[in-house]
Amino acid sequence: MEWVGFALLLAVGAGILFTGLPAFIVLIMAASIGTVIGLASGTFSLALLGALPGRLINLFESDLLQALPLYVTMGLLLDRLPVADALYRASMAILPRKPSSPMVSGMLLGALLGPMNGSVGASVLGLARVVAPRLAAEGVPAAKREALVAVASTLGVLVPPSLVLILLSDALLNAHTFAVTQTGRSDRVVNTQDVFHAALVPAGLFMLLCLILAWFSGRGVTGLPRHEKLTRGQGLLAGFSLLALLLLLGGVATGYFYAVEAAAVGAFALLTAGIVTGRLRGPVMRSLLHDAMAVTGALFSLLLAATTFTLILRLLGTDRLVSDLVSGIPGGDIPATTAVLAVIGLCAFVLDAFEIIFVILPIVLPPLLVRVADVRWVAVLVLLTLQSSFLLPPFGYALMMVRGALKPAAPFRPVVRALAPFLVAQWLLLALVLLLPQLVHIFDQDTAITRAPAQAVSKEEIDKRLNEMVAPPPSEPEIAAGRP
């Protein structure tokens, strides 16, 4: 029955890609089919399904889930308030009046707003609305516009403290807890701040490469950009927004603030600014709250469905099969990690970041971390793989989103040519981190000076995480046979 789980995973990918149904519905349908197959074949009994309510209750006890509605609300507020427009105008006013300035400004805007937008899709829509029309007005070819918006929209995957990073750190905590318990290693279980610190240097390197490539890409544009007139109000808004964003991003990334509290402060500040300026009144406020509840509900539905689906995979024994496959990969840490990264990259052609974190990582990360002890290194490699796969032609998630948001879409081949330098930069950085794990340890907790150091994970927390990952131990023949 172990291979049935793989068939269900393929069915989930096909269902999301070809049916157009929401991912959580496809996951629930696949979990239901797996349940029927497991019960009919005698692989597990109905009593073992009693683990599901406990898993769901433990799931909602995680404090990190408070970040979901907060980041969603911040992304929606940034989309409705003129923050992005003011930041872009201020950047154009500060940069030299060169043909490359619009491209560099668009990339900077993606780096600032990406971590706060909550998802790649939200970043694509925001940048397509603010940056793409201005690039078109400056004479930037359509292919270069699409490539820049696609790359800038993925910067939030890697730059702390994005929602992707927060949810990934939670998945890593679960997987690392399992690995430490299985192997008996004396590792300190990682937390959110560990992942943030590990991502700082790779994120900075990639951001620098993107700015350099954007500058060179814009040099081929004929003519000088128009002078962006910056009013006093826009200048004040841009300055205040830039200061607030840098304080929040830098504070969380370096450990001065915790992610959930910083997200709450950011959402509250944006909401207050919108109310005071009169931009969030009446229908606009109702629309904002409706969209925030709808997006948050969709994410929680996805999380619940993914938790249900992964439980069925465990009951079918698919996790043990994956563990055997990972442990059987010849070579050291690099071959095993590369094989798992390839699987994650393939999944990213069909699934978005949240679906991969909720569905795929709980299956492939625990056996990998049993074999590979450097969890921070694995975390950064997963982030770089996700970011690269979102841009990989022809089915990269961000690339397809951009081509759907910008009409008319440019011919595909010129877009690929414009995107190629950024992809090469991503792959070079991925190879560099793969071969030099030291890059992710420069700001480790034991060497970084922080004002509010992250707390170590307690034994009670470890026990709770283990209970979330495995079914309870009723006196069933399956348990005696080694089933979860």
Task: Mean pLDDT check: name the lowest of 225-229, 316-320, 413-417.
Answer: 225-229
Average pLDDT over residues 38-64: 83
Residues 115-150 pLDDT 10s: 776 677 778 887 888 888 888 888 888 899 899 999
Average pLDDT over residues 316-345: 88
Residue 450: predicted pLDDT = 35
- Do residues 222 and 99 touch, judged by C-beta distance below 8 A? yes
Q: Which residue from 237, 275, 247, 260 is spatially nearest to 77, judged by alpha carbons?
A: 275
- Do residues 147 and 419 touch, judged by C-beta distance below 8 A? yes
Tokens of 37: 């197959």
The C-alpha atoms of residue 75 and residue 96 are separated, in whole angstroms, by 30
DSSP annotation of 114: H
> If you write DSSP's letter for every residue of 361-413 in order, what string do you get?
HHHHHHHHHHH---HHHHHHHHHHHHHHHTT-TTT-HHHHHHHHHSSSPPPHH
The C-alpha atoms of residue 234 and residue 90 are separated, in whole angstroms, by 8
Q: What is the 3-state secondary structure (H, E, C) of 290-312?
A: HHHHHHHHHHHHHHHHHHHHHHH
| Total domains present in the chain | 1
Q: How many helices (H) and strands (E) does the chain have?
A: 23, 0
Tokens of 367: 């056996």
Packing angle between helix 83-94 and helix 67-80, nearest 10 degrees?
Answer: 60
Check pLDDT > 70 for residue 325. Answer: yes
Residue with tokens 């890409």: 217
Task: Mean pLDDT check: name the lowest of 50-54, 356-360, 421-425.
Answer: 50-54
Tokens of 323: 């563990």
Residues 215-256 pLDDT 10s: 988 877 766 666 667 778 778 878 888 887 778 777 776 777
Check pLDDT > 90 for residue 424. Answer: yes
Average pLDDT across the chain, whole number: 82
Residue 183: predicted pLDDT = 84
Cα 331 from chain centre: 29
Q: Please give the residue that has the higher pLDDT: either 447 or 196.
A: 196
| Residues spanned by the domain of 368 | 2-480
Residues 84-117 pLDDT 10s: 888 888 888 888 878 888 889 888 888 887 777 6
Within 10 angstroms of residue 290's Cβ, the number of other Cβ atoms is: 11
CA–CA–CA angle 344, 124, 362 (5° rounding): 25
Grade residue 421 by pLDDT with cuts at 50, 70 and 90: very high
Residue 428: predicted pLDDT = 94
CA–CA–CA angle 79, 85, 87 (5° rounding): 110
Residue 206: predicted pLDDT = 93
Residue 467: predicted pLDDT = 55
Q: Please give the residue that has the higher pLDDT: either 282 or 115.
A: 282
Residue 205: predicted pLDDT = 93
Check pLDDT > 80 for residue 437. Answer: yes
Q: Which residue from 448, 460, 393, 378 is spatially nearest to 423, judged by alpha carbons?
A: 393
Q: Which residue from 407, 388, 385 is spatially nearest to 146, judged by alpha carbons?
A: 407
The most confident of the ranges 6-20, 27-41, 462-476 is 27-41
28 burial type by CB count under 10 A (0-12 exposed, 13-18 middle, 19+ buried) = middle
The most confident of the ranges 68-77, 297-306, 421-430 is 421-430
> If you write DSSP's letter for every residue of 26-46 in order, what string do you get?
HHHHHHHHHHHHHHHHTSS-G
Residue 355: predicted pLDDT = 84
The C-alpha atoms of residue 87 and residue 403 are separated, in whole angstroms, by 24
Percent of the chain with pLDDT over 70: 89
Residue 448: predicted pLDDT = 38
- Do residues 254 and 161 touch, judged by C-beta distance below 8 A? no
Check pLDDT > 50 for residue 454. Answer: no
Q: Give the list of residues 6+ apart from residue 444 with CB closer than 8 angstroms, or none.
A: 194, 197, 198, 376
Residue 394: predicted pLDDT = 77
Q: Please give the residue that has the higher pLDDT: either 186 or 226.
A: 186
Residue 25: predicted pLDDT = 93
The C-alpha atoms of residue 480 and residue 240 are separated, in whole angstroms, by 62
Residue 483: predicted pLDDT = 40
Distances (CA, A) of 127 to 146, 196, 322, 406, 416: 10, 24, 39, 10, 19
DSSP annotation of 255: T
Residue 248: predicted pLDDT = 78
